[in-house]
């Protein structure tokens, strides 16, 4: 699949769209490799579209750290005694970390535990060509 078709495929916005999606063997991580690819492509190649989608996001980060456990546990994740977490490299985070979640499917990637919500966006979003 070419890069241009990758972002135009609605299926990428649905959880479980790639075969490797799903729960991992390590209990503290979450599936969602297709979501990682989607977020990378959006934040690197579709900045305007990403900003438009994020403008429909409401809420604040609850510092649960689940977004830092999608696929693997980020080595920069620091778990705090009060049960919250923080990024040890917060000011140096890559764009896909800075902008998480971008679409409602991202909230699904962390089992719905993210405190952000989206107004007016369906679970699957089609990007313009």
**24 falls within a domain:** yes
**62 falls within a domain:** yes
Q: What does pLDDT average to in each consecutive run of 10 residues of the chain (129 residues)?
A: 41 44 45 79 88 89 89 90 91 89 86 83 53
pLDDT at residue number 81: 94
DSSP for the chain reads --HHHHHH-GGGGSTT-STT-S--SSTT-B--HHHHHHHHHHHHH-HHHHHHHHTTEES------GGGGBSS--TTEEE-TTS-EEETTGGG--HHHHT---SHHHHHHTTT--S-EESS--SS-PPP-
pLDDT at residue number 120: 72
Count of domains forming the chain = 1
**99 falls within a domain:** yes
**31 falls within a domain:** yes
**117 falls within a domain:** no
**121 falls within a domain:** no
pLDDT at residue number 101: 92
pLDDT at residue number 106: 87
**123 falls within a domain:** no
Write out the residue range of the structural domain in which residue 19 sits.
Answer: 3-112
**30 falls within a domain:** yes
């Amino acid at each position: 699949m070419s890069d241009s078709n990758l972002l135009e495929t609605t299926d990428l916005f649905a959880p479980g769209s790639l075969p490797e999606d799903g729960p991992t063997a390590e209990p503290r991580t979450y599936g969602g490799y297709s979501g990682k690819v989607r977020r990378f492509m959006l934040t690197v190649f579709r900045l305007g579209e990403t900003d438009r989608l994020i403008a429909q996001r409401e809420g604040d980060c609850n510092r649960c750290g689940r977004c830092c456990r999608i696929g693997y546990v980020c080595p920069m994740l620091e778990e705090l005694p009060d049960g919250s977490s923080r990024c040890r490299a917060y000011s140096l985070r890559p764009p896909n970390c800075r902008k998480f979640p971008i679409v409602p499917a991202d909230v699904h990637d962390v089992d719905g535990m993210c405190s952000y919500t989206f107004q007016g966006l369906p679970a699957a979003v089609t990007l313009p060509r």
